Structure 1
């Protein structure tokens, strides 16, 4: 079989499968569970890089494959999936569609740029990345679940806020600023926040 098969990409594939299942749930109007699977994809993506870097005997081809497969999966998990989900949640008006198109194009530009710069960086140094340029694409997997669990409280304002969040995140994907890469403590805090959002989403799914 073609490709490279080792444990360094397991979480990346789990993230992809989670998002694909989330898309199926979305088109069948199971939004609460769809948001749950988006958050699961985000949690997987937060740690797949750490697992990959822990594997010290990777060849150069395996490293390059890892970069490419991560971005290919990300464009589905955090590009296409959120677009479908947000469209079904209410961004089906002309302005919403335009915002979603901008978000989609920005996500592809960001990932393409990341691939180029990351390959170049790995050729120059073996040290871990300390900063991202622009907002990481995985941020949608934190922002959207947290926003969704406030839906019942926001009521009609939810759709307005959803539009604002999507266009803001899309623009920040391609804005040239330094975003400090989270440390383990910060990642742990993010996991806790998203876990709370997951718990609420799961709870509301069963009581409504």
Structure 2
């Protein structure tokens, strides 16, 4: 019987926990309608998720710790990249019924994708100790880079009446939702790819800071 607190609290799971907490703060910001801060919280959660696997790989873990890592990562992702974006889009003015239905199916797709990933990952880890190199379907973290981009474009009013509306967010959810469930293979980004993604994220943060000053 395990003594002390249930779960694991070593450095291998710190980023996962921080990512989830950042997402939850973002959800609170949605309720306050402080959307700029909410979007930044979403990107912070995305960065934490990008590097938590690399951190976990630096420590020798037993089978239970590895399985716990798989489960806690997906549970955190469901909050950060499932519940969070669904609530964000639903909270925007207009198309309430349509946005509610689409947000619900988006969340369901994220749930299915993450649960299926857990099954595949546990099977993979029983067969090999090598790191994963391929994703099946679109990773849920994609929303952490695509939603902020749409948020910046919509607030800059580049194309009034088209981008500056809730429709583009609904289209984004629909596309990403289909990607979650599509059975295609996608190579996992290596160090250079992650640097590019982080650079894009930094540019988005700068854009959001600019928008906050603009408003």
Structure 1 unaligned residues grouped into runs of 5+: none
Are the counterparts in 2 of residues 33 and 202 from structure 1 also a CA contact under 8 Å? no
Q: Among residues 167, 171, 174, which one is paired with 1:167 in the alignment?
A: 174
Q: In 2, Cα distance between the equivalents of 1:173 and 1:141?
A: 14
How far did residue 91 of structure 1 move? 6.1
Mapping of 1:61-80 within 5 angstroms?
A: 61-80=64-83
Q: In 2, Cα distance between the equivalents of 1:53 and 1:145?
A: 29
How far did residue 202 of structure 1 move? 2.1
Q: In the alignment, which residue of structure 2 is the partner of 1:156?
A: 161
Q: In the alignment, which residue of structure 1 is the partner of 2:185?
A: 178
Structure number with greater CO (CA < 8 Å, separation at least 6) is 1
How far did residue 93 of structure 1 move? 2.6
Structure 2 unaligned residues grouped into runs of 5+: none
| Greater helix proportion | 1
Are the counterparts in 2 of residues 75 and 111 from structure 1 also a CA contact under 8 Å? yes
In the superposition, relative to structure 1, how do residues 27 and 116 fare at CA in structure 2: closer, same or farther (>3 Å)? same
Mapping of 1:95-174 within 5 angstroms?
A: 95-151=98-154, 152=156, 153-158=158-163, 159-174=166-181
Structure 2 length as normaliser, TM-score?
0.92
Q: In the alignment, which residue of structure 2 is the partner of 1:47?
A: 51
Partner of 2:33: helix, strand, or coil? coil
State the number of aligned residues: 207
- Cα deviation, 1:101-135, whole Å, max 9, x if unaligned, reads 11110000001001111011000001111110000
How far did residue 90 of structure 1 move? 3.7
**Is 1:21 the equivalent of 2:19?**
no
Q: In 2, Cα distance between the equivalents of 1:90 and 1:154?
A: 18
Are the counterparts in 2 of residues 36 and 202 from structure 1 also a CA contact under 8 Å? no
How far did residue 95 of structure 1 move? 2.2
